Chains A and B, each alone.
Chain A
């Protein structure tokens, strides 16, 4: 693209990565030039983090090429990538809480003196220099335990700078930073750019992307979509590229008669997690909580269901208030929660399908405290049939089922308790496309039968295709509400990346 100039510092072409049968990255391409800050954007699950982890040597690619300064490279682990001059700042800081700031910065590559003895004095002096350069005063000798996320992020940056890296990749480094801290980070990033290093910046905040970066690459569904100069594009165009796909017949949503309010949440607050959350779900209605990962959606439903406590607010089901922090009471009141992580929270994979389905209704099944497999399977049969769970027998282990069928088992388990409100977190995560629409059809049927459904989803097409109403969360607050007619990928994405005051201003 440039004529006669230096080649790219780092270039990935058509890189792919599969985890089992799930393709996390299909066609990942990225070209980082020296003296440039390159933005990498895309929806949740577009494959950005996987791409970063391949560059960093955490994962090994299945196919494609990676070249560093023209040389093909193949990092087997993070140490090799680091030795080659690649530094990565991850979404979550990765520090050792028991060790000092200085040790954290130099772990694995400590400066050594005679007899390979660690030279603490020299390392400390370097850290003092680094902190001065970054304009912060963090005691180099203190342990990193107790530091704020922003401070920890600064230490990660100091680590990257001390590496004297050719390539610096920042994976959503600003998510937890305040305005001043972001500015300080950007000042450092710009000075590194001016030294001729190649930087990549992953962020959902478009204002930051547009003020900091000079190139932008969009990814979608694990694939490279486009690369442009920031000057040649604008925010709406980028959003269109990020979400641009047809929302077709994958979502067989039938019109359901919408009845009375079943679930009423008002003023729910949990400091540091979410604040002032109010919404209602009516019978026959599917309400979607949309937003980016980390916006606080799962935390809200966990609090509503009573798994986590909250400090203020009220939850009522059919007019009756629900005591906080009691999942048992929530279940009695007719709430059902299908959690995000099937393996961890929803399913006992080493148990039979029948046992799993009847898990939540054990008490009603038991006679004098005993449950027979026969009664269990009899009851499970009803629900497995209703949801069309494909398995050889109810005695089969849940672990032998496909992801989609496992999800149906979890659904069956909660439907067996005859709930009034179904809360479902990421209903189709990790499920192949065919089964997705199957799960969606079941959800639609349930709504038609008068169930109130609250759905969390990070997949915009799913939100647009399934929801009667969309609530968008950003940094712990509901920032926008759209009904089915008004919801578009663009306005949901916009609301998910801006806080309420910015929305009013725009």
Chain B
């Protein structure tokens, strides 16, 4: 085993590193076509700020997928919370930024808790329940908003400034996303309850025999996913300054796609939130790079699809390979 060979093998095995490499390649290729993509004040800012909402959603989605379920309602939760933040500014123009974010997260938490509660009560797969709440939450949003549109002039200057603020050229929203990511990652890795999400997703029956609080963890996963979608809703309002009733439509599938690309196994039990966040980063960057590379926007969706299928195929192949290696390893000793 020479050093380089082992190094290369580790890269292939670590999904995080391969995503970072793919990200660097795409950014480099796009920048070589148009240097503004990276080397301009605006290009740099866009590159870092665009993925933040999807990163938040993907973190929440990762919690749910790790416990062997899906949350399809996150796009609708984002839309509803973003609209709520906008409406609150109509009523209370001087609402502090922190209060706006806390309210959005609180509403997201509540909606996520409803998802989790329904899953626990109805004993129906989360995918079905959240498919239902996806429409219900969106319906409430449309009922509430109508054709109304909340504009930048309706929101406080502080709030909009925060959405576009940069600290040492790094957007504040990106820093916020990274802080949340670090917290979630630490929790999943180092706390008992964090590890239990993995156990439940890996083998639910064994988790039952182990006496783990399966119901509580599943409820927690959906609640966290809702809270993350609420955070993304506040980010959306602060970043764009306009909110209509269709905000966040289709984000749920992007969030699942990001998690899957990031190596969160769709069958549950493995993956990291960092992987999911990197998946979101890659997905968003590809979407903004394709037009620059002269690829028709018509192809963008297809590229995302290919990426997802590619990631799952890679996962399957690696998992099968890993299973063989693990058996072989045990045979040797």
A residues within 8 Å of B by Cβ?
56-58, 77-82, 90, 94-99, 103, 107-110, 112, 116-118, 137-139, 142-143, 145-148, 151
Interface size on B, residues (CB 8 A): 31
Select B326's contact among A82, A110, A137, A146, beta carbons within 8 Å: A146
Q: Given A96-B199, A98-B270, A99-B198: A118 and B209 within 8 A (CB)?
A: no
Contacts of A139 in B (CB 8 A): 329, 333
A107 touches B326 (CB 8 A): no
Give the residues in chain A near B285, CB-CB below 8 Å.
none
Of the candidate stretches B2-10, B43-51, B200-208, B300-308, the one touching chain A is B200-208
Q: List 6 A-B contacts (CB under 8 A).
A: A57-B211, A58-B208, A98-B198, A108-B210, A112-B192, A139-B329
Residue of A nearest to B211 (CB): A79
Are B323 and A107 in contact (CB-based, < 8 A)?
A: no
Closest to B209 in A: A94
Binding site for A on B (CB under 8 A): 190-192, 195-196, 198-199, 201-203, 205-213, 265, 269-270, 322-327, 329-330, 333
The answer to whether A94 and B206 touch (CB under 8 A), given A57-B211, A142-B326, is yes
Residues in B neighbouring A96, C-beta threshold 8 A: 198-199, 202-203, 206-207, 269
Q: Is the CB–CB distance between A110 and B327 below 8 Å?
A: no
A77 partner residues in chain B, CB cutoff 8 A = 211
From known contacts A94-B205, A98-B269, A98-B270, infer whether A147 and B330 are also in contact, taking CB-CB under 8 Å.
Answer: yes
Q: Would you call A118 and B330 a contact (CB within 8 A)? A: no
Q: Pick from A97, A98, A99 the residue with the most CB of B within 10 Å.
A: A98
User: Secondary structure of the A side of the interface?
Assistant: loop
B192 touches A110 (CB 8 A): yes
Whole-angstrom distance between the Cβ of A154 and the nearest chain B Cβ: 11
A151 to B212, CA, bound (A): 23
- Check A151–B330 contact: CB distance below 8 A: yes
Inter-chain CA distance A103–B30, complex, in Å, is 43
A117 touches B191 (CB 8 A): yes
The answer on a CB contact under 8 Å between A117 and B269 is: no
Apart from A108-B211, A109-B192, 18 more pairs, CB < 8 Å: A57-B211, A58-B209, A78-B209, A94-B206, A94-B210, A96-B203, A97-B269, A103-B199, A108-B192, A108-B199, A108-B212, A112-B192, A142-B329, A145-B323, A146-B329, A147-B326, A147-B330, A148-B330
Q: Identify which of B196, B322, B325, B330 contacts A107 (C-beta below 8 A).
A: B196
- Chain A residues near B326 (CB-CB < 8 A): 142-143, 145-147
Task: Report chain A residues within 8 Å CB of B329.
Answer: 139, 142, 146
Cβ contacts under 8 Å, A56 to chain B = 209
A172 → B minimal CB distance (Å) = 15
Q: How far is it, in angstroms, between the C-alpha of A110 and the C-alpha of B195 when the chains are bound? A: 9
A79 to B209 alpha-carbon distance, docked (Å): 8
> Is the CB–CB distance between A95 and B208 below 8 Å?
no
Q: Which A residue's beta carbon lies closest to that of B193? A: A116
Query: Which residues of chain B come closer than 8 Å to A58, judged between CB atoms?
Result: 208-209
A90 and B192: CB pair below 8 A?
Answer: no
Residues on A with beta carbons closer than 8 Å to the beta carbon of B270: 98
A480 to chain B, nearest CB (A): 34
Residues on the B chain within 8 Å of A109, using CB: 192
| 7 nearest A-B residue pairs (beta carbon) | A79-B211, A146-B326, A78-B211, A94-B206, A98-B269, A96-B202, A98-B202
A360 to B324, CA, bound (A): 41
Closest chain-B Cβ to A111's Cβ sits at a distance in Å of 10
Whole-angstrom distance between the alpha carbons of A408 and B195 in the complex? 48
Q: Between A and B, how many residue pairs show CB distances below 8 Å?
A: 93
| Closest Cβ–Cβ distance, residue A119 to chain B (whole Å) | 9
Q: Are A78's CB and B210's CB within 8 A?
A: yes
Select the residue from A79, A96, A97, A103 with max chain B CB neighbours within 10 A: A96
The answer to whether A94 touches B211 (Cβ under 8 A) is: no
**Residues on the B chain within 8 Å of A80, using CB:** 211
Choose one: B190, B196, B198, B325; the contact of A108 (CB below 8 Å): B196
* Assembly CA distance A151 to B331 (angstroms): 11
Q: Which residues of B contact A79 (CB under 8 A)?
A: 210-213
* Contacting residues, chain A, for B195 (C-beta < 8 A): 99, 103, 107, 110, 118
Query: B212 and A97: CB pair below 8 A?
Result: no
Give Cα A10 to B311, complex, Å. 52
Q: Which residue of A lies closest to B200 (CB)?
A: A96
Distance of A58 Cα from B203 Cα, bound (Å): 16
Assess the A99–B199 pair: CB atoms within 8 A: yes
When distances are taken between beta carbons in the complex, the residues of chain A under 8 Å from B333 are: 137-139
From B265, which residue of chain A is reached at the shortest CB distance?
A98
Closest to A136 in B: B333
CB distance from A54 to the nearest CB of B (A): 14
Contact of A82 (CB < 8 Å), options: B192, B199, B211, B213: B211
| Least Cβ–Cβ distance between B208 and chain A, in angstroms | 7
Docked CA distance A232–B211 (Å): 39
Chain B hits for A118, CB < 8 A: 190-192, 195
CA distance A116 to B187 in the complex (A): 10
B324 (CB) vs chain A CBs: closest residue: A146
Given A117-B190, A147-B330: A90 and B210 interface contact (C-beta under 8 Å): no
In the assembled complex, which residues on chain B have CB atoms less than 8 Å from the CB atom of A112? 192
The complex places the Cα of A58 from the Cα of B196 at a distance, in Å, of 19
Report the minimum CB–CB distance from A419 to chain B (whole Å): 37
What are the residues of chain A within 8 A of B207 when measuring CB–CB? 96, 107
* CA A109 to CA B210, docked complex, whole Å: 10
Q: How far is the CB of B10 from chain A (nearest CB, A)?
A: 15
The residue in chain B whose Cβ has the minimal distance to the Cβ of A110 is B192
What's the Cα separation between A80 and B212 when bound, in Å? Answer: 11
CA distance A253 to B238 in the complex (A): 82
Contact, CB under 8 Å: B330 / A146: yes
User: Which residues in A have their C-beta under 8 angstroms from that of B269?
Assistant: 96-99
Which chain B residue has the least Cβ–Cβ distance from A142?
A: B326
Tell me the bound Cα distance from A63 to B202 in angstroms: 35
- Give bound CA distance, A78 to B206, whole Å: 11
**Do A116 and B191 touch (CB < 8 A)?**
yes
A6 and B205 CA atoms in complex are apart in Å by 37
Chain A residues contacting B330 (CB-CB under 8 Å) are 138, 146-148, 151
Please give the distance in Å from A224's CB to the nearest CB on chain B.
25
**Most-contacted residue by chain A among B190, B196, B323 (CB, 10 A):** B190
Q: Chain B residues near A138: list those with CB within 8 A.
A: 330, 333
Whether the Cβ atoms of A97 and B202 lie closer than 8 Å is yes
Q: How far is the CA of A103 from the CA of B199 in the complex (A)?
A: 9
Contacts of A146 in B (CB 8 A): 323-327, 329-330
Q: Which residues of B contact A90 (CB under 8 A)?
A: 209
Residue pair A116, B198 in contact (C-beta under 8 Å)? no
CB distance from B293 to the nearest CB of A (A): 37
CB distance from B165 to the nearest CB of A (A): 31
Q: Kindly state the separation between the CA atoms of A244 and B70 in the bound complex, as whole angstroms.
A: 53
Report Cα–Cα, A146/B326, bound state, in Å.
5
> In the complex, what distance in Å separates the CA atom of A107 from the CA atom of B190?
12
Residue of B nearest to A113 (CB): B190
